[in-house]
Amino acid sequence: MRKLVVNKKYDNKKLNNFILDCFPSLNKNVLYKALRKKDIRVNEKKVSENIVIYENDEISIYIADELLLGKFNIETVYEDENILVVNKPAGISVTENNSNSKTLTSILKHQFGNNIQPCHRIDRNTKGLVLFAKNKATLDILLNKFKNKEIEKHYIAKIYGIPKKEHDILQSYLFKDSKKSLVYISDTPKKDYQKIVTEYTLIKKDEKNNYALLDINLHTGKTHQIRAHLAHIGFPIIGDGKYGINKINKKFGVKTQELYSYSLKFNFTTDSGILNYLKNKEIKLKISVF
């Protein structure tokens, strides 16, 4: 069973649209069958039709994870005795509070054992590299390396519009609203807002279709930082259902954000113990979707 809370974007919208956007792998016929069987509840009330929902409504979905999330083939990009790097598909979270939910971590624990732990996260519908530790000593080292910014993460983002500057380092302030699962960006400091720094480099542009590809280097790693920061400056990521533009997403025919974690660089400047062999190593994913 999955529980979801309706955000502002889906206020006064149809239930089916909300569920299908949340679970891109879900077959429409499976959803309709669940409605007929009253396997979906809105605010704990069983519903059998495609009703209108409102912000903060709680949706309970009694559909098996295999049908909601689909079957995932997790590609191993790099592996040794201490670390594992995989290519995460869209539609699955790295971790969740509900231990009964199917996550990338739970899938990999089944395959590699319970000692495996993620060293960082990317959004559910962001695709690409995720680094896992195979033992506690490795996990402790890598968490410290991330904290000290000795591991560099790069992303590729497909954005709508073409920035005038080919390279820029953006500095703003981010507030996380956990209840709404949204973040807000401000150009000036505010109470409870945290400073964020996002660096981008233009790597391709298509003036005819008005889109560009950016290489993103995160100097800070806050929730939804890339997606919200780029949308804030007027260049939303294509396919982003939360911070993007619906009519643009429909135009390009995509339902999840075109954002890929494609590079991990181990820029170790201090002793790394059993992981010294990773110093200056880069693990890179070939992105051919564009």
Helix axes 15-22, 28-36, angle to 10 degrees: 130
Distance between CA atoms of 167 and 140, rounded to whole angstroms?
Answer: 34
How far is C-alpha 288 from the geometric centre of its chain's CA atoms? 19
Tokens matching residue 245? 């533009």
Distance between CA atoms of 193 and 173, rounded to whole angstroms?
Answer: 5
What are phi and psi for residue 110, nearest 5 degrees?
A: -65, -35
Residue whose structure tokens are 């279709």: 209
Contacts by 38-46 with C-beta closer than 8 Å and gap 24+? 39/63, 40/15, 42/15
Paired residues of 128 in beta bridges: 88, 261
The DSSP-derived string for 51-63 is -EE-TT-EEEE--
Quick check: is 271 catalytic? no
| Nearest partner of 260 among 76, 123, 168, judged by Cα | 123
DSSP state of 82: S
Helix (H, G, I), strand (E, B) or coil at 263: strand
- H-only helix segments in the chain: 15-22, 28-36, 65-69, 104-112, 136-147, 225-232, 246-252
The residues, ordered by sequence, that sit 6+ positions from 8 with a Cβ below 8 Å of its Cβ are: 55, 180, 182
Catalytic residue among 21, 39, 57, 123: 123
- C-beta of residue 207 within 8 angstroms of C-beta of residue 162: yes
Q: Which residues are catalytic?
A: 123
